[in-house]
A and B are shown apart, each in its own frame.
Chain A
Amino acid sequence: MQIIKDKQIIDDRWSYVADDAELKNGDISVSLARWKKDKQLLLKSDSKIGVRIGPADSVEDIVADLKDIQLIELDFPAFADGRIFSHAWLLRGRYNYQGEIRATGHFMPDQVFYLSRVGVNAFSLEKTEDLPVALSTLNDFSVNYQKSIH
């Protein structure tokens, strides 16, 4: 599947493992609950590990583990849930997370610009045909008024 990462459309190898599914090889992401439950097991594997966070989760719950996590997926249940934007800002601005932050779930191509400003650097869109337009929105503004991550 293709996604946008660091302002390019690329093929993506990560897969999300649902809470009730078996862990598998390869780069996988899991829910915050699964991460908490199976952390030791996950850390033993050779794969890269990602954690998926929803708007109601608290990023403070994974702050201590950030060095072990290569991907954080911020998952939109609905595009209007703006908590995701603050989660991204906190991860980058306060906790200095350097890995990939990816927006997933139900968000709009037109939110990609603001998401990139608060530190999200990868976007898995609901419809892959929206990738080019989402990529182009990153150039919507050449100026801004406030300090954020970018």
Chain B
Amino acid sequence: MYQYNNHDQTLIEQRVAQFRRQTESFLKGQISDDQFRALRLMNGLYVQTHAPMLRIAGPYGLFNSKQIRKLAHIARTYDKNYCHFTTRQNVQFNWPQLEQVPDILEELASVQMHAIQTSGNCLRNTSSDHLAGVCIDEIEDPRPYCEIIRQWTTLHPEFAYLPRKFKIAVSGAQHDRAATQLHDIGLHLVKNDAGEIGFRVLVGGGLGRTPIIGQVIKPYLDKKHLLSYLEAILRIYNLFGRRDNKYKARIKILVKESGMEKFSELVEKEWLLIRDDLELSTDRIDAIKTQFTPPAYETDAGQDTGFAQRQLENKAFATWVKYNTVDHKIPGYRAAFLSLKAPDSPPGDMTDAQLDAVADLADRYSFGEIRSTHRQNLILADVKQADLFPLWQQLDALKLATPNIGTATDMICCPGLDFCSLANASSISVAKEINDALDDLDYLHDIGDVKINMSGCMNGCAHQSVGHIGILGVDKKGAEWYQLTLGGSSENEAAIGERLGPAVAKDQVTKAITTILDVYIEQRLDDESFLDMVKRVGITPFKEQVYANN
């Protein structure tokens, strides 16, 4: 994983000093609320219902054990002993004191971390495939390009005051695990007819109030033109994106209103003027690539026989292996998911004790590296199969081994009304109720791959519009109601879910979800997944049952 050099370290330390000065000026009344708002947001600091919320960047989801221990220390020292992993692979603290935020940032800088551009109307943290570099379906490892983009976006002077936030995701595999079609810019590493690898560039995707799937603007872009093409898109967006209405300010609206043809003409014209000046050299790409060389895998890891034996002997272990681990490109290794969706814990949350323990496990079993995923779980990406049994035992003791990855209780869930000042409805309590109703593991596993995403308001932080089942909290005359959608997806065949019908009351949500799942079990064909069935039959059979008594 990328290690900072002096240049990187100097930059983040100077950013801490700058933010300390900005915070002190604000506390002395020298800058207004409105001005400080813009400055603090660009450093990940929101003012929430109870306290500020600080969002820390997880650059394309990569952390080392030292960084995870630092998060544990911050949770203990400055917060209430926990943190929250987000859908864009970042980490949030919900209870810091404003006065202490500069100190927290200084602590983070000591382990090569920061909160730069994790919020605000600027270029945000770049996200990527959580299985980058280890998956079996990879065209090329996207992480070096993510790092190149991370550096280019960091403190970019021209694009710090965009019409609205701007998110870039990169995928290097056949299977899109980074929701690239739902980002302002999505980049896919692809091979052209000549066998060279470059980028397919998508633009104009996004969630929130107006979910739109991104469209291809450039089917194939040479790697050397990556930054010039990004700069061209950003300059056109910065100049022509709408600034009169914040709900129409994302690039997706500019693309939609100007039409893809006109928009891409503008970008192309701009790009041709700058591309020769901003070429990315092969040397530069290669230098970054050396930071992502594979760890020292053991060549005989696949010869172990204990792994198969343990699965035969221990059903619980076998179940965990089936649901919470995936194939690895190196024989004898697997990537292991740590489920942050235990029944009695808010989705995505981790305590300081869990963080410390996970850092130790990463050091022992996975080359000291930890990854966060788009669905708010963690991964130890390089575990020898012989180590999976002891790892599982220890994760189980930490309540991080719920075998529910990819199932209905692996919900994406925002903090909702409990913490967020934007929310109209709670999500954590509803998630818990659904979790309780689906506590029978055999039933859960029989349902199989169902992605439930739940957001407490229209802003859609939990991506409800692309959940196989989406749940959206709305306010109806002061009461919490929930709109349901079916058939959304953020993967290769991205789709926006279709609204099932009128919103349901809070105490009816769990019943509606179990009814939907029952309809699926009754009417599915052999091996048909939930999403496939919704595509085949539409929403009517589900609708009839959910609203049967109305």
Q: Contacts A94-B273, A143-B14, A145-B11 given: A114-B157 contact, CB under 8 Å?
A: yes
Q: From A79, A80, A118, A133, give the contact of B158 (CB < 8 A).
A: A118
| CB-based contact B10/A85 at 8 Å | no
From 226 to 285 in chain B, residues with beta carbon under 8 angstroms from any chain A beta carbon are: 227, 235, 238-239, 243, 273, 277-278
**Which residues of A lie under 8 Å from residue B160 when comparing CB positions?**
82, 85, 114
User: Nearest CB to that of B243 among chain A residues?
Assistant: A81
**Which residues of B lie under 8 Å from residue A23 when comparing CB positions?**
none
Q: Would you call A37 an interface residue if the criterion is a C-beta within 8 Å of the partner chain's C-beta atoms?
A: no
| CB-based contact A142/B14 at 8 Å | yes
**Which residues of A lie under 8 Å from residue B157 when comparing CB positions?**
85, 113-115, 117-118, 144, 146, 148
**Stretch with Cβ within 8 A of A (4 or more), from B31-39, B366-374, B522-530:** B31-39
Q: Would you call A24 an interface residue if the criterion is a C-beta within 8 Å of the partner chain's C-beta atoms?
A: no
Q: From B10, B31, B152, give the contact of A142 (CB < 8 A).
A: B10
Q: List 19 A-B contacts (CB under 8 A).
A: A82-B121, A82-B161, A82-B162, A82-B163, A82-B238, A85-B157, A85-B159, A86-B238, A86-B239, A108-B39, A110-B35, A113-B157, A118-B158, A140-B17, A141-B11, A141-B15, A142-B14, A145-B154, A148-B158
| CB-based contact A79/B238 at 8 Å | no
From 8 to 44 in chain B, residues with beta carbon under 8 angstroms from any chain A beta carbon are: 10-11, 14-15, 17-18, 22, 25, 31, 35, 38-39
| CB-based contact B161/A110 at 8 Å | no
| CB-based contact B39/A110 at 8 Å | yes
**Which residues of A lie under 8 Å from residue B11 when comparing CB positions?**
141, 143-145
Q: Would you call B535 an interface residue if the criterion is a C-beta within 8 Å of the partner chain's C-beta atoms?
A: no
| CB-based contact A80/B155 at 8 Å | no
- A145–chain B nearest beta-carbon distance, Å: 4
**Which residues of B lie under 8 Å from residue A148 when comparing CB positions?**
156-158
C-alpha gap A86/B152 in the complex (Å): 16
Q: Would you call B7 an interface residue if the criterion is a C-beta within 8 Å of the partner chain's C-beta atoms?
A: yes
Q: From A81, A110, A113, A146, give the contact of B156 (CB < 8 A).
A: A146
Residues of chain A at the chain B interface (Cβ within 8 Å): 79-83, 85-86, 89, 94, 108, 110-111, 113-115, 117-118, 133, 137, 140-148
| CB-based contact B31/A108 at 8 Å | yes
**Which residues of A lie under 8 Å from residue B159 when comparing CB positions?**
82, 85
Q: From B18, B121, B235, give the contact of A140 (CB < 8 A).
A: B18
| CB-based contact A147/B238 at 8 Å | no
Size class of B's contact patch? 20 to 34
Q: From B7, B10, B161, give the contact of A80 (CB < 8 A).
A: B161
**Which residues of B lie under 8 Å from residue A144 when comparing CB positions?**
11, 155, 157
**Which residues of A lie under 8 Å from residue B15 when comparing CB positions?**
141
Q: How many pairs, one residue from A and one from B, have CB atoms within 8 Å of each other in the complex?
A: 86
Q: Contacts A108-B31, A110-B39 given: A145-B162 contact, CB under 8 Å?
A: no
| CB-based contact B151/A83 at 8 Å | no
Residues of chain B at the chain A interface (Cβ within 8 Å): 7, 10-11, 14-15, 17-18, 22, 25, 31, 35, 38-39, 121, 151-152, 154-163, 227, 235, 238-239, 243, 273, 277-278
| CB-based contact B38/A80 at 8 Å | yes
C-alpha gap A47/B22 in the complex (Å): 40
C-alpha gap A89/B7 in the complex (Å): 24
| CB-based contact B238/A83 at 8 Å | yes
**Which residues of A lie under 8 Å from residue B273 when comparing CB positions?**
94
User: Nearest CB to that of A59 among chain B residues?
Assistant: B239
Across chains A and B, which 4 residue pairs bring their CB atoms closest together, nearest first?
Answer: A82-B161, A117-B157, A114-B157, A145-B151
C-alpha gap A113/B273 in the complex (Å): 26
- B6–chain A nearest beta-carbon distance, Å: 9
Q: Contacts A94-B273, A108-B35 given: A145-B161 contact, CB under 8 Å?
A: no
| CB-based contact B239/A146 at 8 Å | no
- B145–chain A nearest beta-carbon distance, Å: 15
- A83–chain B nearest beta-carbon distance, Å: 6
**Which residues of B lie under 8 Å from residue A114 when comparing CB positions?**
155, 157-158, 160
**Which residues of A lie under 8 Å from residue B7 when comparing CB positions?**
143
User: Nearest CB to that of A85 among chain B residues?
Assistant: B158
